[in-house]
Structure 1
Amino acid sequence: MSRRGLRKAGVRTAGVLFLVVMSALVLLSIKIYRKDFVDSVPVTLQADRVGNQLRTGGQVKARGVVVGEIRDVRATPGGAEIDLAMEPGKVSQLPKNVSALLVPKTLFGERYVQLSIPDGPKAGSLSPGDVITQDRSANAIELERVFDNLLPLLKAVQPQKLATTLTTVATALEGRGDQIGDTLATAAAYLKEFNPNLPALNDNIRDLATVSKLYGDIAPDLLDALSASAVTLDTVKEKRAELASVYQQVTSSSQQVTTFLANNRANIIALAADSRAPLEVAAKYSPSFACTLDALAKLKPQMDKVLGAGTDEPGLHAEIVVTQPRGKYVPGKDDPVYDATGEPRCYPSNGLMGQGIAATGEKTAALPGVQGDLGLPNSPQERELISTLVAPSMGVPTAEVPAWGSVLVGPLYRGTEVTLR
């Protein structure tokens, strides 16, 4: 073999050796990374499920101390099996009846295996090939459920945005602790005063429900009324020009009335004051107005006859008789005297009677003016006459007869003729 051939063979041999050395170094690195050369105690953890945050190489802790690592995670029909490599120097302190719990390092971090050492009697230490079961206590299940439900929620709200929001809130609240405390204290005082009024608030809400139900019942009628009012409003809209004219006229009239009242207010007040006495007299004698007008109406045929109405000789017809003179008028002797007394009464005109009580017969001094028509039922005149009639039978003076006697006895006497002796 030539020198050149030997040289080529040496180069090829060196290349192969280089590749073998590189492969050995890579394999050694992998072995070292996988800690194949580190002494460990292999145990198996059986879990219902592991989730996506449990990775090979994860930590195994007991009471906060790292005691091993996760070597492999395998899925099984009943859940999952996790190969754990425990440190030989620490495995002697872990009993066989230890249990495991899969918890995350942080809210968003990977999970690790947390070994729970029971408080009761402990079995022997863990040995290679032992099987550890998952902690299924109530607290462990509840904690795992919280983390399982919280993780999807935190993913949905996007942690980076949540962190930004919390930072903004913290910045806004920084330095305002006293104000927030005062606000909370004020709110607590308001609530303390409001609590006694809660029963009244409940009653008001209950009454509001009743009123709302009532409004719901009358809603159809209310809608009908509103529909009907629409016609009226349309009419007002059509007649708005006429209404505007009326308003203007009313305004003008009001101004004129205001001017009149302002100019004549003294006269109006004086007229009202002067009219009071005549009006009081008219009010007193008002019961006699009806029979007076009735008598005047009945007197009309006789006056027509006196004046010759309907005859060929119109004018005043009278029979005049000349008698001896009674002497001249003597002042102080023949002066008229206005000494009439008593209440207003109605007297018959030309023998015509009304519908009241007619009293005839002898007059006595105790019964002044009782002869004639007493006018309206239950009037003061009728009550006076009835009191005069029933007082002797009751054995009491006339003034002590009850005023309501005319209501009971009046219907018996009305339309009859009574003779007083």
Structure 2
Amino acid sequence: MLSTRSAKSHYHPPPLKTKGAALVLGLAAILFGCLLSFNGAFTSTVPLTVVSDRSGLVMDQGAKVQLNGVQIGKVREIDHVADGASLQLDIDEQWFGLLTADTVAEIKATTAFGSKYVALEIPDGSSAEPLAAGHEVRSRNVTTEINTVFENLTSVTEHVDAAKLNATLGAVATGLRGRGNQLGTTITDANTFLAAVDPTLPTLANDWRDAAITANTYAEAVPDFMALLGNASVTSDTLVAEEKPLESTLQAFRTMGDEGFGIASENEKSFLDAMRLFVPTTALLAEYSPEYACLFQQAATTAEAEQRFGAGNTGYSLELDAGIMPGDDNYTYPENLPIVQGRGGPGGAPGCYPEITKDMFPTPHLVVDGGANIANATAPRAGSPSFVEYLFGTTIGGVTPR
């Protein structure tokens, strides 16, 4: 039997609003995460400062920071300082370790009208220490924007008369009309010439710098040069006034030269012989030339000593330092034959020793071997002939050597 109650339904409407809201929130979270990731919120960065004369007209926050063409960070903030602009950079931590202390920066533009970016460069073969966080890097240059060119051009045109400029340009156009081939040839020749000159520009620059130094030197010497010219004018006036005596003097010199030439021609052989005879003498003088300085110095010292030992006294006294010295034996033959083996001076050659003082030890000495030295005579001993021989002759003392 069928029941009169209706069957209970199990159908429930789907929660579309809840799921739609969850989907929207999920998409918003994903977009927000992508935005944060794009802005580097999840990337660890290291601060770096770049100081430049100016930042450029189109340098904005968020501009790229590149190293060898690869982006490694971005510009976080641009500040104006007294001597230019200060750019605060955020460098990715994974790339910061590549930078060294001698890293240089340049502010460049992608195109003539494009935005600016910071280009970092590491010198080739750099061995500097790693760059520290917060370090300050100086920018070498900032490329000129086309905006700046237009601004400067506008400033120039404000001071130029338009009518005169039009007339000038018209005259130039008239002069160039029909001469395109000649102008092209001239430009080509100029390009060839400049290409040949270009390799020598460093040398030319050095020459200009040297020329400036030389010009400054000449400029300092100009007063002296003008004074010299003034004195030369006085000398020339004197020569003009004494023209006749000068002519006679020059004529006398000419006559003397002719006569001297005749005398020299007649005695040429005698002059040559005299020069040859002078060779041994001059060679000896040259050998002993190192001693000449000592000779004149000691002559002056001797003159001072002469004043101390009598010349400077009253004329009736003489100061002496006398003593008794042991005597030498009489001359014997052949032991005391003359020997020429004297050597002295530094290294045994003729030369000069400094003035001997009490602090000089060992004292320089001369090695003299003239044949009068007594062999092995290093201590006092009885002389020969003895005192007995002086009294009684050779009967007791024996035969006296000759």
Say which one has the larger Rg.
1
**TM-score, normalised with respect to structure 2:** 0.31
